[in-house]
Amino acid sequence: MPEKIIEKIVSAPAQALEQTLQTTSELAQKLVDNKPVNKARGYWATLGPGLTTGAADDDPSGIATYSQTGAQYSFNLLWLAAFSFPLMAMVQEMCARIGLVTGRGLAGNIRRLFPKSVLYIITMLLLAANTFNIGADLGAMASATNLLIPNLGFASLVIFFTVVSLGLQIFTTYAQYAKYLKWLALALLAYIASAFMVNLNGKELLLNTVIPHLNFSRDEIFLVCGILGTTISPYLFFWQTSQEVEEEILAGKTSLKLRQTQTTDVEISKMRTDVWSGMFFSNLVMFFIIVTCAATLNKAGITNVQTAAEAAAALRPLAGPYASLLFALGVIGIGLLAVPVLAGSTAYAMSEAFGWRHGLYRKLKNAYPFYGVIIISMALGLIMNFVGLDPIKALIYAAVLNGLVAPIILVFVVKISSDKKVMNHRVNKPWTQAFGWIITGLMILVGVATLAILIVPK
């Protein structure tokens, strides 16, 4: 009898421990099987070209344009963030659908359906706009790094970022490169975080978000063109379309016939989730950059921002060192994403225009012309930083140049995505087509007004 009592006493802790371990295991399994966690994982897996395209849209040129908007006009143009979101998402969804359904990039489709001379003109305009943008972005990244590490030379930093960007595009596989771009997009969270480090008036934000304000002054029209140009950007059209094709090839659809005949409703649905999520993220960041600069720089009487890096520096005494640090890190992080996208979109367009083998999934030795365009674009952008180019003019004019080129290419995007012979039953819905032409008309109107401002003296 005493032996049994002793046995029970000894075995009790072991049983308790075993029961505790079993309970812990069950809780861990429930956490793994937790539906919200699984949904979040599934959602992240769905994101791809749409997220990286949207993130690339907030490149240093865009950051400078949005910073200048908040500094110069306070919250008055904040409504443009909400206004441009559906326009941008509709356009990028058209581009993505073209890539999925046709199995070709945007330039490849234009080449098949329109005179080659038209495509050559478009490609040259894209090359000019993207090269200008690359140069401005490289300079902004170097300046932002100087804020963090003042002892490093500007020239050395510009060369460093050029080499790193080229290395990622040329010497990594597409699968690795796509993952890198996807995670790097999270650098944009720095701008959302920086906005919460300043004092904000909720009522003022709400009113300026939903109620448009526009005085139609020369400077305001010029800046609106820059905002639309850096939001609805030509290079994003080409990049989005080509990345959808790259994703199909990565999934095993290596032949054109497979890509054209095996596009499923599930793929279209995932693409829409990806695109609309990416564009929402992009415009949300635009919103918070304007908010941060309006609440700090404009309130302090600083109405002229020379660069994105200067905006970060100006935030330091107004919003604290952490806000300026986050702002500067965002410029560097998103620049590393945007510069390859700019160079890559030019390479896709030119390769398809001239019938060269192309694609980031190919190795350098199998696509010399494609990678050659990337190298030349980056080299020209690098040189721009050593010819005395004014940083603010480079960044803002790059955005405006995109605003002038965008409507020309939009005409082809809407026509191709509305053509039943090309898109079959995945053609634009009537309301989508109507909105596509409205967006194109709006961009043309803003572009013409901007040209008039540049031509007609004050």
Mean pLDDT for all residues in the chain: 81
**Per-residue pLDDT at 338:** 86
Task: Write the pLDDT tens digit of every residue in 415-444.
Answer: 999 999 999 889 999 999 999 999 999 888
Domain ranges (residues) in the chain: 49-455
Mean predicted confidence (pLDDT) in 232-248: 88
For residues 342 and 46, the model is more confident at: 342
pLDDT score at 49: 82
CATH superfamily of 49-455: Amino acid/polyamine transporter I (1.20.1740.10)
Look up residue 81 and give its two tokens.
């963030």
Model pTM greater than 0.95? no
The residue whose two tokens read 């949207």 is: 54
Q: Which residue has the tokens 């083998």?
A: 357
Percent above pLDDT 70 for the chain: 83
Residues 14-65: pLDDT tens digits? 454 455 445 545 544 554 556 666 777 777 667 778 888 888 888 887 888 8
pLDDT at 30: 53
Decide if 101 contacts 259 (C-beta within 8 A): no
pLDDT at 125: 82
Confidence bin at 71 (pLDDT 50/70/90): confident
- The model's pLDDT over 255-302, given as tens digits with 9 standing for 90+, comes to 777 787 788 888 889 999 999 998 998 899 899 889 988 888 888 888
What band does 370 get if pLDDT is binned at 50, 70 and 90?
very high
**Would you state the pLDDT for residue 59?**
82
Looking at per-residue confidence, does 137 or 398 come out higher? 137
| Distances from the Cα of 250 to the Cα of 59, 196, 247, 263, angstroms | 26, 39, 5, 14
Lowest mean pLDDT: which of 21-25, 148-152, 155-159? 21-25
Rounded Cα distance, 393 and 390, in Å: 5
220 or 173, which is more confident: 220
pLDDT of residue 8: 46
